[in-house]
Structure formats: structure tokens, C-alpha cells
Amino acid sequence: MPLQFVKSNKGANQLQLDGYIYTRDKSYNGKTLWKCIEFHNFKCKGRVHTSNDEIVKTI
């Protein structure tokens, strides 16, 4: 399944998956870690790990 992205208000890519939106948290060694945009407001602990435009792990 190809990754779907939306733009934030500031123009950054955000990952859209299963009705949730994730913002890029960290990138290293070709991997990108995304965290739920509701992390601060609602203590959302959802995370997604991607590599080479494929989902590696969801938490």
C-alpha cells in the first residue's frame, strides 16, 4: 500500500494512515519515525516507522 501524505499548515509532509495523521519526528539511516499529531493534546502514543516509502512498524 503506497504511503499517503498531506501538507501541514506550514507546508511539511504529514503521513496519513488509517484515519490518523502523523508528523515526522526523526530520520536516520534511511528510516523515518512519525508520531501522532495529537501527541501533546490527547496523549496519543501512536507511531509509525517507515523505510524506503514502506511501513516497517506501527505502534
Please state the domain count of the chain: 1
Higher pLDDT, 44 or 16: 16
Which letter does DSSP use for residue 40 in this model?
H
CATH code, domain with 25? 2.20.25.240
Residues 48, 26, 10, 56, CA torsion sign: negative
Confidence of residue 59 (pLDDT cuts 50, 70, 90): confident
Query: Could you list the residue range(s) of the whole structural domain that residue 54 is in?
Result: 4-58
**Residue-level pLDDT at 1:** 61
Helix, strand, coil % over all residues of the chain, rounded to 5:
5, 60, 35
For residues 48-59, give the mean pLDDT: 89
pTM: 0.82
Least confident range of 3-7, 26-30, 39-43: 39-43
